[in-house]
Amino acid sequence: MTDSPYILQAKNLTKIYGENVIFKDISLDVKKGETIVIIGPSGTGKSTLLRCLNLLTPVNSGQIFLEGEEITAHGVDHDQVRQKIGMVFQNFLLFNHLTALGNVMIGLTKVKKMPTEKAKQKALHELERVGLADRAHHYPAQLSGGQQQRVAIARALAMDPLVMLFDEPTSALDPELIGEVLGVMEQLAHEHMTMLVVTHEMGFAREVADRIIFMEKGRIVEQGSPEELFEHPQHARTREFLGKISELYGKKEKK
């Protein structure tokens, strides 16, 4: 079990909110170092899937494995699991009362119980990784959206996660700020961070993704390499969606 080739595996996940079946029997295998981009229309359950994967929301049935260990099993410490799965949100969700440095440090000092000085060094290093070492002492309100999102990425990276989940990390940003965030993510991909990215940025998907998953109405319709999906989509729905999305987001793609 432990020497599974997959770092993250989902088997037959089903999520139901009341009467609403958000998704049913979704399975997913993520290899170490892989960058997967998930695309699909709004309300399809992409965000819900990510939240299920790091146990922020419980699934109704199915199993999730992290490094071969089942994290949906009884008695698993969810908080411990979440330390190993980083998450970046559409609306950043930085801790408003902490500086950029404080935001990155707090997980280290309070969750990992790292000594302050060591945590500070590590946090500064992570901020450097996202190009914000000079903004360490700024509060979220003093940072631009792009900068806030990069701090949020640094905050997640500081926990040394096995996998990073991104939920539309650039959709709340002004067009001119999108590039800096995508740049950081691209660099992470080059460093072989395992990433699951929900995004409408087709340029990013095309250039950075190892695999693209097209989801619709709670199902995975089609998946494959960017080339397969963009050049030879198998399903009519995929073609239709890609057509719409390039119309909508076409301008931004030029970066």
Partner 1 sequence: MINQFFAYILQGTSVTVAVTLVALPLGLILGLLFALIYNYGGFWVSRFAAVYSLVMRGVPPIALLFILYFLLSGQMVNLSPFWAGSISLGIISSAYQMEILRGALQAVGEGQMIAARAIGMTRLQAIRYIIIPQAIRLAIPPWSNEASIVLKDSSLVYAIGVPEILRRAQQLSATTQQPFLAFGAAALIYFVLVFLVNRGLDLLAEKTKLPASMA
Ligand X SMILES: Nc1ncnc2c1ncn2[C@@H]1O[C@H](COP(=O)(O)OP(=O)(O)OP(=O)(O)O)[C@@H](O)[C@H]1O
Quick one: which segment of 17-25, 102-110, 111-119, 223-231 binds ligand X (CB under 6 A)? 17-25
Radius of gyration of the chain (CA): 18
Quick one: which segment of 14-22, 133-141, 172-180, 238-246 binds ligand X (CB under 6 A)? 14-22
Binding partner at 42 among ligand X, partner 1, Mg ion, none, C-beta below 5 to 8 Å by kind:
ligand X
Residue 47 lies near ligand X (rule: CB under 6 A)? yes
Q: Do 160 and 205 contact (CB within 8 A), yes or no?
A: no
Quick one: which segment of 47-55, 102-110, 172-180, 184-192 binds Mg ion (CB under 5 A)? 47-55
Residue 42 lies near ligand X (rule: CB under 6 A)? yes
Q: Do 52 and 59 contact (CB within 8 A), yes or no?
A: yes
Tokens of 180: 């800096």
Phi/psi for 73 (5° steps) reads -70, 160
Identify the CA nearest to 78 among candidates 66, 68, 90.
Answer: 66
Contacts 24+ apart (CB under 8 A), 105-112: 105/158, 107/83, 107/155, 107/158, 107/159, 108/158, 108/159, 111/79, 111/83, 111/159, 112/83, 112/159
Residue 43 lies near ligand X (rule: CB under 6 A)? yes
Candidate residues 9, 35, 44, 238; the one interacting with ligand X per rule CB under 6 A: 44
Candidate residues 9, 35, 44, 47; the one interacting with Mg ion per rule CB under 5 A: 47
- Which residues 6+ apart lie within 8 Å of 97 measured at CB? 139
* Footprint on this chain of partner 1 (rule: CB under 8 A): 54, 56, 79-84, 86-87, 89, 91, 93-97, 106-107, 110-111, 139, 141-144, 152, 155-156, 159
Residue 45 lies near ligand X (rule: CB under 6 A)? yes
- The nearest distance, CB 37 to Mg ion, in angstroms, is 14
CA 17 to chain centre: 22
Binding partner at 177 among ligand X, partner 1, Mg ion, none, C-beta below 5 to 8 Å by kind:
none
Nearest residue (CB) to partner 1, 52 versus 221: 52
- Tokens 């965000």 correspond to what residue? 47
Residues of this chain that interact with ligand X (CB under 6 A) are: 17, 20, 22, 42-48
Residues of this chain that interact with Mg ion (CB under 5 A) are: 47
